[in-house]
Amino acid sequence: MTREKKLIRKIEYGDREALGELIEMYYPDILRYCRFHTFGRVCAEDAAQETFLKVVRYMDVRSFRGEFRPFLYKIAQNTCIDLARKRCCNDDGLEDLEWEIPYLETGFGKAEEDAWLHQLISRLEPEIQELVLLRFGQDLTLGEIAEVMGIPMRTVQSKLRTTLKRLKTDLTDTNVKKEAGTYETDGTKTLGIFSESENLERRF
């Protein structure tokens, strides 16, 4: 049994410390996810907190079944959509992230990498941006992405394969590299995209 499932079982028996541990385990990733989908740092923090409040309310009244991580990201996704509609926050945007002083707080430790990924996917359609973000920004599996987005896993594979071929072309294009200099500094992420593209190509 995974640590996550052990914690969920303890939570179902009323263990509040286990609930705090589960939140602590996922808070940095959810905060970074919300940073991509909100209008700035303050709004991202609000969205992350609201996400976990909804999780707590849910687990207070019913037993959890299924995979927790897709469930958590789906709540975060809907929370960010609600906040965007209300436009409750309007401080700095993600496009300015690379110019900010690197965050020391939990969840904001990868500002440069986040800015790189945001610039990379900024030309893509919103649905495709979400797919790439969940895969490379949050390291979700294809099955988890399918559950969060409510589409078949084969569709996720197909869309990701097509998108990565396009990004691979962009990443090897000199003009694009000049336009987004951070592309050339994040070799690990670039190699990850190349590797994922090749793996998906072999599956089809």
Using the 3D structure, point to which of 82, 109, 136 is the last residue of a domain: 109
Helix axes 111-121, 153-171, angle to 10 degrees: 100
User: Can you list the alpha helix ranges (DSSP code H) found in 68-152?
Assistant: 68-86, 111-121, 126-132, 142-149
Q: Which of 74, 109, 144 finishes a domain?
A: 109
Residues 6+ apart with CB under 8 A from 61: none
Identify whether residues 114 and 84 lie together within a single domain. no
What are the pLDDT tens digits along the chain (204 aa)?
789 989 988 888 888 899 899 999 999 999 999 988 887 788 899 999 999 999 988 887 777 778 899 999 999 999 999 888 876 554 444 444 443 333 334 444 455 567 777 777 888 899 999 999 999 889 999 999 999 999 999 999 999 999 988 887 776 664 444 444 444 444 445 555 556 555 555 544
Domain identity same for 32 and 128: no
Domain with 179, as residue range(s), is: 110-204
Residues 133 and 86 occupy one common structural domain: no
**CATH classification at residue 187:** 1.10.10
User: How far apart are the C-alpha atoms of 167 and 164, rounded to whole Å?
Assistant: 5
Judge if 49 and 114 occupy the same domain.
no
**117 and 105 inside one domain:** no
Domain boundary among 109, 133, 152: 109
CATH number at residue 48: 1.10.1740.10
Judgement on whether residues 105 and 115 belong to the same structural domain of the protein: no
135 and 78 share a domain? Answer: no
User: What's the structural domain count of the chain?
Assistant: 2
Q: Are residues 105 and 121 in the same domain?
A: no
Residues 144 and 160 in one domain: yes
The answer on 44 and 80 residing in a single domain is: yes
